[in-house]
Each structure stands twice: as C-alpha cells, then as structure tokens.
Copies of this chain bind each other. A is one copy, B any other.
Amino acid sequence: MATINDVAKRAKVSVVTVSRLLNHPEVVNAKSATKIHKAMEELHFQPSQIARSLVKRRTNTLGVIMPDVKNPFFNKWFRSLEEHATVHKFSLLLCNTDDNAEEEMHYVKLMQAQRVDGVVIVPYSKKSVEYLIGSGQKFVLVDRIYRDLKVNFVTTDHFQGGYQATQYLIKLGHTRIGILRGAGYIFPDVERYAGFEKAMKENGILIDQELIINCDLDEAKAYERTKEVLSRRKKPTAVFSFNGLMSSGFIQAVQEMGLSIPQDVSLLSFDEIQGYGIFRPRVTHINQPIRSLGEFAIDMIANIIQNKNSTRQGIFLKPELVLGDSCRRI
C-alpha cells in the first residue's frame, strides 16, 4: 500500500509538502499540487487514517454497541446514526451484544483499544457503563439509562408511552389488560410498566398479577405464554406487548388458537411489528422517534468529543400512539 513517502518520491517533493497538500492545500504551489495529485492517483494513494490517528489522537470513528441489528427498531436507528455520523466524518464500528453482559464488556474494552473517539451504547449491563466512566471514555447512553448515573443520554419517555397506551385501552373499555413484558431489568421495561401502573391506578382499576407476564422480551416466550394465558377461564380482553418481537409471538399464538384480533382479544404493541405494512388488522402501537434518537445521539457525542458543552445532557423524547385496527371497544 502506497504511503505519503512513495507519493513524495514520485512527485519529487518532500513528504511534508504532500502532507500539506492533504491538510492545507491552499498553501502549496499549484505546480507541486498537480504533480502530487498525479502521483497520488497513479499510486491509488489514500492517507493512512491509522498514522493520522496516532498523531492527531483522533480516529474519526465511533463505536456503536447495541443489542441486535436484526431488530427492526435498532436497524432503523443504526441507519439514522450512520446518516448523521457522516456529517461529522465519523465511521461506525458496529457491535451486537445480544444483551449478553460479557459480550458487551468485551466490546466496550475493544472500542477503547480501538481508540474510538466516542461510544454510542444501548447498554444491557450497568457494569459496562461503569467501566466506560472509569476509563474516561466519551460516550452517550441511548434508550436504556440509569437514573443514578450522571451521564449523557437520549431516550424515549417510556413511562409516558406505557401510560398513554394503557389510557387508550382503558378508554376503549378494557380493564382486564394483559402485559407481555421483560424481566424488569432494563429501563424501558421498568418505565413502561410504571406508566401502565399509573394509568390503571388513576382509573381505579386493580391490576391482576396473573396477567403480568415476563417473557424476557422474547418472541418464542411470548408465543408460549400467550397460549397459556389465552387458555385460561379469565382471559384478558386486551394485551399490551412491550416490544415488536413479543407482539409477533402473541399474534402467532392467537392465530394458531383460532382466535382473532381484535374480536377475541385486542393488541397494542410498543414499537411497530415486523411486517406492519402487510399484516391485518394494522397493529396499534407506540412509535418511538427513532430518527431523533439517532440524531441526538450523534450530536451529543460529537459535542462531547469537541468539548463544546461540558454540561451533562439528558434528553427524553416523546413517543406517539399510532392507531391501527387491533384494539376494539368493549
């Protein structure tokens, strides 16, 4: 691979002149510039970001650590990140943790070793975040935050989303509302449930703990648990599923049981389901401002890296209820 040195020799100038053409083109003589450009083309030269990074102490690379790009929510988000990263000339190293704490810690350390300028992380384990803090790494938390950690973050107002969704179901007359949720470990799960609780309490409706199902945010588990719950005598009239995957599991179970949505049971999903465009009835869901979640994350990390604003920032974005036909009035 050609280096600045090869270019210099071929163009018969010193390396410094080549370097200058790269960084301060206005200050180099037109003739030299032409010669150098010619040499660069002939050699297919591209300046080594590696060497450059070493001296500038900037890699122009961001580490993105998240659960899984296969998840539609996260791949849309990633594309939004990429789009805005380009504006700031950042390349993106993508790491999928599958919500595995060890994988995550591994990646956090790897990003540090790669000397990325910053990390954008949707954390699973608090330890990873604490390591980031301890190592002095610049980072922003997205979606999953820790109230007691003073760090920069962008997230959806999951509490509001849970509240909003529940209010909607209650207004339609539902009182026996089933919840397909996670294990109460990550922030969004906890908050959505708290929002649900608040709405129920405000309306004087007692929560039947039998209807609160921990599915680990997993499709297969949601499928199984749904079959079980809908076989009971006292079924829920509506189900509020905490993510798109679980909604899919729910739908499959309902279909196999020969039931239909919303005649037999209503469905409200947090996040759009996969295949939203073709599945009928259209699934009513809480939509997160995915693009903003990406934009803010990039802007924040870019600011932190440039040390522009040293004030810590935490942003909550409002979710939105998208009406479909999967919830009926009773």
Residues of A near any B CB (own CB < 8 A): 1, 44, 46-51, 53-54, 59, 61, 68-70, 72, 75-76, 78-79, 82, 91-96, 109-110, 112-115, 131, 134-136, 219, 248, 251-252, 255, 273-280
A115 touches B48 (CB 8 A): yes
A69 touches B78 (CB 8 A): yes
A113 touches B47 (CB 8 A): yes
With contacts A79-B69, A96-B82 taken as known, whether A54 is within 8 angstroms of B50 at the C-beta atoms is yes
Q: How many angstroms from the CA of A92 to the CA of B91 in the assembled complex?
A: 11
B79 touches A75 (CB 8 A): no
Q: How many angstroms from the CA of A255 to the CA of B275 in the assembled complex?
A: 14
**CB neighbours of A93 from chain B (8 A):** 61, 91-94
**CB neighbours of A61 from chain B (8 A):** 93, 114
Q: How many angstroms from the CA of A194 to the CA of B96 in the assembled complex?
A: 38
The 22 sampled A-B contact pairs (Cβ below 8 Å) are: A44-B134, A46-B109, A48-B115, A49-B113, A50-B50, A50-B114, A54-B54, A61-B93, A68-B79, A69-B75, A70-B76, A78-B94, A79-B96, A82-B94, A91-B93, A93-B93, A94-B94, A251-B278, A255-B278, A273-B278, A274-B278, A278-B279
**CB neighbours of A131 from chain B (8 A):** 44
**CB neighbours of A113 from chain B (8 A):** 46-49
Q: How many angstroms from the CA of A69 to the CA of B72 in the assembled complex?
A: 9
**Closest-CB distance, A95 to chain B (whole angstroms):** 8
**CB neighbours of A68 from chain B (8 A):** 79
A59 touches B50 (CB 8 A): yes
**CB neighbours of A110 from chain B (8 A):** 91
Q: How many angstroms from the CA of A177 to the CA of B278 in the assembled complex?
A: 22
**CB neighbours of A115 from chain B (8 A):** 1, 48-50
Q: How many angstroms from the CA of A48 to the CA of B278 in the assembled complex?
A: 48
Residue with the greatest number of chain B CB neighbours at <10 A, chosen from A61, A76, A134:
A61
Q: How many angstroms from the CA of A93 to the CA of B63 in the assembled complex?
A: 9
**CB neighbours of A75 from chain B (8 A):** 69-70, 75
**Closest-CB distance, A81 to chain B (whole angstroms):** 10
Closest to A54 in B: B50
**Closest-CB distance, A289 to chain B (whole angstroms):** 17
**CB neighbours of A48 from chain B (8 A):** 54, 113, 115
B47 touches A50 (CB 8 A): no
**CB neighbours of A50 from chain B (8 A):** 50, 53-54, 59, 114-115
Known: A51-B54, A69-B75. 7 other contacts (CB 8 A): A1-B135, A44-B131, A44-B135, A50-B50, A78-B94, A91-B110, A93-B94
**CB neighbours of A248 from chain B (8 A):** 275, 277-278
